[in-house]
Structure 1
């Protein structure tokens, strides 16, 4: 049995444990749709989520979404790209 949290369930758990913000791909349709925006390089749908209230994830700008999938934002180094 797999008890690993993923998608919006993971975002809720991270906020519940006290994380101040969680970078997420967001959607009002589904977790899958949120991930599709990343696969299509639509990074305008990635926000720092700061709370989960009344069944909605809310970012630091006050916008809300039904689904939020945690993502990593990392800086690449020169060595990582072989330059």
Structure 2
């Protein structure tokens, strides 16, 4: 059995450790739904805190789920240029 943290549990652990401004996919339904709502980058936010059962983004909005994500620049070799 794996005890590896993932999804919103990982975000909570990162905040408890003192990490700041964690870039996350966010949603009010589930971790899985947060990762599916990435079309157009509409549902991502910098998460700055977790209070009263909600993740709060830098704009002050509460979210039920926040999955940490990585965003990186596309390299020329990735698009055959």
Query: Taking structure 1 as the reference length, what is the TM-score of the superposition?
Result: 0.90
Gaps of 5+ in 2: none
- The equivalent residue for 1:44 is 42
Cα displacement (A) at 1:80: 3.0
Return the alpha-carbon distance in structure 2 between the equivalents of residues 75 and 17 of structure 1. 27
- The equivalent residue for 1:4 is 4
| Alignment deviations for residues 27-81 of structure 1 (CA, whole Å, 9 cap, x no partner) | 111111101102xx14110001011111100000001101111111111122332
What is the alpha-carbon root mean square deviation over aligned residues?
1.1
Please tell me whether residue 64 in structure 1 is matched to residue 75 in structure 2: no
- The equivalent residue for 1:25 is 25
Cα displacement (A) at 1:82: 2.4
> Number of residue pairs matched?
81
